[in-house]
């Protein structure tokens, strides 16, 4: 299901990965849009962990980080 941002949400409250970002699973690299609940994904501090839930949010370009683009898979501030 595709959710839209509620009026009281700000961009500071939106986190996640853009489509096409690949994460490491126990089956190799997988695009985030192909992940399923319970897939084992590699975490930075706890090894492989089961993915508990998936949530999709659509953000209009004019709402996203003042029009700035992020590299696929890059987490700002890391």
- Residue 34 carries which DSSP code? G
β-strands 40-43, 47-50 pairing: antiparallel
Would the pTM count as exceeding 0.85?
Answer: no
CA 18 – CA 75 distance, rounded (Å): 11
User: Residue 67 phi/psi, 5° resolution?
Assistant: 85, 0
Q: What is the pLDDT of residues 29-59, one digit of tens each?
A: 999 999 999 999 999 999 999 999 888 877 7
């Amino acid at each position: 299901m595709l959710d839209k941002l509620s009026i009281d949400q700000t961009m500071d409250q939106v986190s996640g990965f853009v489509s096409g970002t690949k994460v490491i699973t126990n089956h190799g690299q997988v695009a985030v849009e192909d992940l399923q609940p319970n897939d084992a994904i590699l975490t930075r501090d706890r090894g492989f962990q089961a993915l508990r839930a998936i949530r999709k949010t659509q953000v209009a370009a004019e709402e996203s980080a003042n029009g700035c683009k992020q590299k696929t898979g890059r987490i700002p501030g890391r």
